[in-house]
């Protein structure tokens, strides 16, 4: 069973994405302590603001040796600059709203 961490300040979006991923048989956590995030297989960040503000970085999530969690970002921002900067900093998947939850489930299951 995959462990997936969800990071979002929007509780409604967090619950919606959690329900979609639980249907795929994943264990979901919303604990945002760095040591907890580093033990997950996938970290889903809803909104790019956590990266833009410097509160969160791909490097900090992957700083624990051999374990390398996949990082998915789901955001409203469609600008090429935002998408490219997220991918260049190491994000594995960048999806924009409206997002197909079935597609997210499939991507999470494949990782």
Query: What would the pLDDT profile of 8-43 be if each residue is shown by its tens digit?
Result: 888 898 899 998 888 778 899 988 888 888 888 999
Asked if the model's pLDDT at residue 102 lies above 80, the reply is yes
The fraction of the chain above a pLDDT of 70, given in percent, is 93
Question: What pTM, to 2 d.p., does this model score?
Answer: 0.85
Distance CA 17, CA 48 (A): 16
For residue 72, the cross-strand partners are: 44, 93
If one counts the domains in the chain, the total is 1
Distance CA 77, CA 64 (A): 30
Strands 70-75 and 93-96: parallel
Read off the CATH number of the domain in which 9 is found: 3.40.50.2300
Q: What is the pLDDT of residues 40-93, one digit of tens each?
A: 899 999 887 777 767 777 887 777 666 788 899 998 878 888 888 888 888 899
* Domain with 90 in it: 3-110
Please give the DSSP secondary-structure letter assigned to residue 79.
Answer: -
Residue-level pLDDT at 64: 62
Residue-level pLDDT at 65: 62
96 against 49, higher pLDDT: 96
The fraction of the chain above a pLDDT of 90, given in percent, is 13
């Amino acid at each position: 069973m995959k462990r997936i961490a969800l990071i979002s300040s929007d509780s409604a979006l967090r619950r919606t994405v959690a329900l979609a991923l639980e249907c795929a048989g994943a264990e979901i956590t919303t604990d945002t302590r760095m040591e907890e995030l580093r033990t997950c297989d996938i970290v889903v960040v809803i909104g790019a603001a956590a990266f833009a503000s410097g509160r969160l970085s791909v490097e900090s999530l992957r700083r624990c040796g051999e374990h390398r969690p996949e990082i998915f970002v789901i955001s409203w921002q469609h600008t090429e600059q935002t998408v490219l900067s997220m991918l260049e900093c190491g994000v594995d998947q960048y999806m924009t709203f409206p997002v197909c939850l079935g597609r997210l489930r499939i991507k999470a299951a494949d990782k």
